[in-house]
Amino acid sequence: MMIAEHLLNHERFKRYPKYAKEEMAQDGVVKCIKNLKNYQPSKGKLFSYFTQCCWSANMDYLNKYYKEMNIRRQLLLDTLETIECDPNIQETNS
């Protein structure tokens, strides 16, 4: 857990909101536990293996995060475009 949390202090992850960082840390721990059976001591230290698992989990999370943000952005743009093009909507001046 400490590896996953400490990795979030990297400059690449500092700008994300707290909830996203918590999700990344949790995903990292889960991925480490799932991939523990694949660890081979002859290929490196356990610390570096866990760090790489957490990094990979963070990248996977960010791919999902940006995909979701792009979908939300596109829905918002489509909605605004529909509102602007609809002649039945009356503008009110305050």
Q: What is the pLDDT of residues 13-31, one digit of tens each?
A: 888 999 999 999 999 999 9
- DSSP per residue, 57-90: HHHHHHHHHHHHHHHHHHHHHHHHHHHHH-TTSP
Tokens of 24: 């990344």
Q: Which is more confidently placed, 87 or 11?
A: 11
Which sequence spans correspond to the domains of the chain? 1-33+43-53
pLDDT score recorded for residue 92: 56
* Each residue's pLDDT tens digit, 35-74: 989 888 888 888 889 999 999 999 999 999 999 999 999 9
